[in-house]
Amino acid sequence: DTGVSQDPRHKITKRGQNVTFRCDPISEHNRLYWYRQTLGQGPEFLTYFQNEAQLEKSRLLSDRFSAERPKGSFSTLEIQRTEQGDSAMYLCASNAGSSYEQYFGPGTRLTVT
């Protein structure tokens, strides 16, 4: 399978717990993006990486959110002290820097109870 993969696909957690999601981009893609999407809305940009460097982070992202891409391959998104408002679909996408087309993974659906 050469597509973008995300793990887990679904996560239910209690408020106050920490969660971590993983994204594996298409292998030759050097850019990786994280988005959050709630019902009836378009994807909202969170952050993106070029190789291992985190180039931009949304101002909407609180200090409870952190993302890494340590070797320029897979990436993790961690949410600390989850709140009910964090419930959403978290989407990962990747593209080669020379290409405009982003390929999306299937997403991780987070439910905070």
Partner 1 sequence: GQNIDQPTEMTATEGAIVQINCTYQTSGFNGLFWYQQHAGEAPTFLSYNVLDGLEEKGRFSSFLSRSKGYSYLLLKELQMKDSASYLCAVRDDKIIFGKGTRLHILP
Q: Which residues bind partner 1 (CB under 8 A)?
A: 33, 35, 40-45, 48, 56, 91, 100-107
Dist. CA 75–CA 65, nearest whole Å = 13
Task: Evaluate whether 82 touches 90 at the Cβ level (below 8 Å).
Answer: no
User: Which residue, 19 or 91, is less far from partner 1 as judged by CB?
Assistant: 91
User: Which residue, 33 or 65, is less far from partner 1 as judged by CB?
Assistant: 33
The HSE-up count of residue 32 (CA atoms within 13 Å, CB side) is 31
CB of 64 to partner 1, least distance (A): 21
User: Which residue, 44 or 80, is less far from partner 1 as judged by CB?
Assistant: 44
Residue 98 in tokens: 């020379």
CB of 56 to partner 1, least distance (A): 6
Task: Evaluate whether 1 touches 103 at the Cβ level (below 8 Å).
Answer: no
CB of 33 to partner 1, least distance (A): 7
Dist. CA 60–CA 108, nearest whole Å = 19
User: Which residue, 21 or 33, is less far from partner 1 as judged by CB?
Assistant: 33
CB of 112 to partner 1, least distance (A): 19
Q: Quick one: how far is CA 14 from the chain centroid?
A: 20
